[in-house]
Structure 1
Amino acid sequence: MAEKNPTICIIDDNPDDRDTFRRYLLQDPLYRYQCYEAETGEDGLLLCRQIQPDCILLDYKLPDIDGLEFLAELVDSSGSVPFAVIILAGLGDEGIALQAMKSGAQDYLVKDEMTPGNLFRAIHHAIERTTMRRALEKHQQDLEQKNQEIQAFAYALAHDLRAPLRAITGFSQIVEQDYHDVLDDSGRHYVENIVHACSQMDRLIDDLLNYTRIEHRALRYKPVALDYLLRQIVKSMETRLQKTGATVTLAEDLPTIYGDSTLINQIFVNLLDNALVYHKPDEVAQVTVSWWEDGEFVVIRLADTGIGIAPKFYEKIFNIFQRLHSEEIYPGTGIGLAIVKKAVDLSGGLVWVESTLGVGSNFFVKLPKYIV
């Protein structure tokens, strides 16, 4: 609901017109207005910035600037006019008034045809719009604050968890190394489980931090050469590939796109890691990366020869902590594909999967060629 005493800025150099508007506004059965007035565009801009009105009645022809120039001065950092502006035009100026609406005004009224009724309707609509916009801004501010609180909590939690985790890891490694011969088979098994669990917890903390960081950092769009980026990722996995015998085959002509290099890196690091983990037990992992253009986008496909995914899980696997297999069978935290989905969304793209159980999966990433 809008407040019952909304503020109106009347910006008009004609005192008779301002007097008419005031008399009309006194007749409105819905609101009791707080009216502020200015005779020039310069004074009107200063007044609007000070008052932050619910509605502006703006004469198109002012002594110093016209309505279009006034609207241009009102534009905020988001590129929009933050107030509901009703242009007051003369007969024959309707075309100019329509141009003003394209520049950010909400409505226009012809002075010679104005009645209390059509003035009230225009102002009521303006007040409703202002109320909705302010409510949305408040909601966005609340969300931003909550996001900041969540991020701060995640960092604090990670810090607080890592301190005792380091102690547990350090002491368990000492026991594993220095007391290996003293322990019986059961004791060694228990210590190995502790060391492994510590490693998993450390990875989980890292993945959680990556997930919370990913949407709170400033995005820097620039050309990203996928050929270079993917070859660097594969190179960083060289030891792992040699140890397991797995192969990653990249298309020779991978394109250059526009995007945030950190987000793009997160996408393909996690997709390649996923493909290398979920291979069939009796086979080495094989991953092939290809691509094609799709209008203003490029589609990159990562095809593997892994265990496959049932169709009912196509959407669920991109949810955080969604795992289809136990940690004992396939290691992981259940966050990697959620990071992929978040990074692709922030990049203005799409990600999806097509798969056949026992045969393999195809992950598709559709990314814009230009800044979105």
Structure 2
Amino acid sequence: MAEKNPTICIIDDNPEDREIFRRYLLQDTRYHYQCYEEETGEEGLALCKRIQPDCILLDYKLPDIDGIEFLAGLVDASGSVPFAVIMLAGLGDEGIALQAMKSGAQDYLVKDEMTPGNLFRAIHNAIERTAMRRSLEKHQQDLEQKNQEIQAFAYALAHDLRAPLRAITGFSQIVEQDYQAVLDADGRHYMENIVHACAQMDRLIDDLLNYTRIEHRAIRFKPVALGYLMQQIVKGMATRINENQATINIAEDLPTVYGDATLINQIFVNLLENALVYHKPGENAQVTISWWEEDESAVICLADNGIGISPKNHEKIFNLFQRLHSDDIYPGTGIGLAIVKKAVDLLDGFVWVESTLGVESKFFVKLPKYVL
């Protein structure tokens, strides 16, 4: 909601016109205005930046600068005019109106045709727009603060969890290795479960931190050669691939996309990890990475010969902590595909899956294609 006593800056070198504006404003029954005045552009700019008004009535023809130059002087770091400006000019200056609107003015009025009614409508719209913008800015600031608090909490929680977890893991491994002779079968089984649970908890903390970091790191858009990136990913995962006796087939002509290399790396690392985990028992994993062009985007397809996903779960699998199988059968934290979805969203892309249960899964990632 707008303030009941909004501030208005009148920037006009004609004292008679300023008097008319003040007299009109006194007739407005909706608001009680706080008016400030200046006669020159430079003094007006300084006034507006100091007062932060709800609305500016700006004469196009000022003694030192014109209205377009005034608007340029108001532009903030984001490249926009942070105030609602109503440009005022004479008859025959219709061309100024279009130029003023392109330069950031909200409205335009002809002085000789001004009435209390059309002035009030323009000012009311300006005040409401200013109130909405300030409300959105405050909401954004509150949201950023909450995000920072969540990130700090996540880091603190991870640090506090890891200290006792390391102790539990270390002592469990000592008992498992050094005291097997004095433990019966049940005791050894329990110790194996403890060590396994510690490892799973450590993976969960790592994945949670990775998910939290995604939203709070600076995103750097640049050309990313997918062919080279995929080779590096496969090289880094060579041990896992060899352990699973998996086959990874990568198209030789993978394109260059436009995005953040770190996020794109996380997308395909998690998708490839997913394919290695969810392969059919008794079969070696086979993964084929292909692509095609669609409009100005590249669609990358990662197809596997795994256990498949039921159609009812095609969207659900991208939710945080969503798991379709127990950890005993297929280990994981339920965060990997959520990281994929979050990273793709941040890159203005799309991700989806097509799958036949018990046969295969195809994950598709659509990203902006880099164009020279």
TM range, normalised to the smaller chain?
Answer: over 0.9
The question of whether the paired residues in 1 share the 8 Å contact of 2:244 and 2:276 is answered with no
1:246 matched to which residue of 2? Answer: 246
CA deviation map 1:255-308 (0-9, x unaligned): 111211110111000010011111111211111000111111111000011111
Residue matched to 2:55 = 55
Question: What is the CA–CA distance in structure 1 between the aligned matches of 2:47 and 2:147, rounded to whole Å?
Answer: 34
- Give the aligned partner of residue 9 of structure 1: 9
Q: Post-superposition shift, 1:65?
A: 1.2
> How many matched pairs?
371
- 1:221 maps to which residue? 221
Distance 1:182 1:242 in 2: 36
Query: What are the residue-to-residue correspondences of 1:20-39 with 2, within 5 Å?
Result: 20-39=20-39
* Residue 87 (structure 1) shift: 0.4
1:326 Cα deviation (Å)?
0.7
How far residue 370 of structure 1 moved from its aligned partner, in angstroms, is 4.2
- Farther-moved stretch of structure 1 (162-171 vs 254-263): 254-263
* In structure 1, distance between residues paired with 2:314 and 2:99: 48
User: d(CA) in 1 for partners of 2:370 and 2:76?
Assistant: 25
Per the alignment, residue 233 of structure 2 pairs with: 233
Mapped to 1, the partners of 2:133 and 2:253 lie a distance apart of 47
CA gap 1:204/1:80 in 2 versus in 1, 3 angstroms: same
Q: Does 1:285 align with 2:285?
A: yes
Unpaired runs of 5+ in structure 2?
none
Please report how far the alpha carbon of residue 196 of structure 1 lies from its aligned counterpart in structure 2 after TM superposition: 0.6
**How many angstroms does 1:183 deviate by?**
1.2
Residue aligning to 1:89: 89
Indicate the SS of the match to 2:215. coil
Taking the aligned partners of 1:65 and 1:311, their CA distance within structure 2 comes to 65
The match for 1:326 is 326
Matches within 5 A, 1:264-275: 264-275=264-275
Q: What is the 5 A alignment of 1:294-309?
A: 294-309=294-309
Residue 344 of structure 1 aligns with an amino acid whose one-letter code is V
Within 5 A, what are the aligned runs for 1:1-372?
1-370=1-370
- For residue 208 of structure 1, report the CA deviation from its aligned partner: 0.2
5+ residue gaps in structure 1? Answer: none
CA distance in 1, matches of 2:301, 2:370: 19
CA distance in 2, matches of 1:239, 1:217: 29
TM superposition score normalised by structure 1: 0.98
Deviations 1:190-226 (A, max 9, x none): 1111111000000000000000010101111222111
C-alpha contact (below 8 Å) 2:256/2:370 kept by paired residues: no
Q: 1:94, CA displacement in angstroms?
A: 1.5
Amino acid at match of 2:48: C
Which residue identity is paired with 1:146? K
CA distance in 1, matches of 2:310, 2:75: 51
Counterparts of 2:301 and 2:64, CA distance in 1: 59
Task: Give SS of 1:215's match.
Answer: helix
The 1-side partners of 2:243 and 2:45 are apart by: 69
Amino acid corresponding to residue 303 of structure 1 in structure 2: A
Q: Distance in 1 between matches of 2:260 and 2:77?
A: 22
- Consecutive aligned runs of 4 or more in structure 1 exceeding 6 Å deviation: none
Q: Please list the CA deviations of residues 206-251 of structure 1 after superposition, one character each: whole Å capped at 9, or x if unmatched.
A: 0000000101011112221111111111111111111211111100
Distance 1:313 1:102 in 2: 48
Distance between the aligned counterparts of 1:67 and 1:297, measured in 2?
Answer: 42
Identical-pair percentage = 83
Cα RMSD over matched residues? 1.0
TM-aligned CA deviation for residue 66 of structure 1: 1.2
CA distance in 1, matches of 2:359, 2:105: 59
SS of 1:223's equivalent in the other structure is strand
Q: What secondary structure, in the 3-state scheme, does the structure 2 residue paired with 1:80 have?
A: coil
Q: 1: distance between equivalents of 2:239 and 2:159?
A: 30
Q: Is the 8 A contact 2:54 2:130 kept in 1?
A: yes
